[in-house]
Amino acid sequence: MTSNLKISLIQLPLFWENALKNRAYIEKHLNSLDKNSNVVLLPEMFNSGFTMNARKVSETMTGPSILWMKSWAEKLNTLLGGSLAIKEGENFYNRFVIVSSEGVIARYDKRHTFTLAEENKSYTSGNDLGLFKYQGWKICLRICYDLRFPVWSRNTTDYDLLIFVANWPVDRISAWDTLLRARAIENMCYVVGVNRTGKDFKGLNYPGHSSVYDPMGELITPENFIKEGVVEAILDYSELEGCRKQFRFLEDRDNFDLC
């Protein structure tokens, strides 16, 4: 069991539908990271931007971006995660992938595709839980629009850390901040949100606001972090455990089944 988990969140602009250029640009930040990070996270669709051109930008699970992630995870001796468009058979998925030096250790396909942008017409909705264990921590993966659906993220499995990667635009950034905090409070867990910066091909602006909340909903990273760069936080398992022992709110949660 690792009592402290160091998380590094990389928020940065993304080049439209250009995986090679995005990977090269991300490397500038990876090279500057503290080598003691346990988990390094990238935004949603880190290698392409939030494009609906799935057929053009998608890769396979043995493609260049996954191999690149594995290489950097090995170099940094860390977990490296982010979402990208993945093709399997005739389907395309917006998939959150966590990679170690050994390869893929966790994956989650976005359940709530963003109908406002017609993501549902380009990507297949997933139904996996996105749960995995790392150094004694139970971690749950989610993507962007999933944040608006608290039932899907409800902590019925006793996870310790809930992670969202996103392309969340400036016009709705107050919802991002509010919902991340709410997910931490109601689930009595650490919540991490990683958002991009810059402007995309469609003219949407992204303000960052990558952040980490503790189990009581307190922000433990800089407020309204808008510049390109790295946000870091150390998660304390003993603090999480102590909070849950003092406030046993999860013991009163409702039981339900998801269809």
The catalytic residue among 110, 119, 140, 189 is 110
Catalytic residue check, 110: yes
Q: Compute the distance between CA of residue 197 and CA of residue 227 in angstroms, rounded to an integer.
A: 7
Burial of 187 (0-12, 13-18, 19+ CB in 10 A): buried
Contact 113, 125 (CB under 8 A): yes
Q: Compute the distance between CA of residue 10 and CA of residue 30 in angstroms, rounded to an integer.
A: 9
The catalytic residue among 59, 119, 140, 144 is 144
Taking the alpha carbons of 246, 181, 220, 24 in that order, is the dihedral positive or negative? positive
DSSP string for 169-197: -GGGHHHHHHHHHHHHHHHTSEEEEE--E
Catalytic residue check, 44: yes
Q: Which amino acids are annotated catalytic?
A: 44, 110, 144
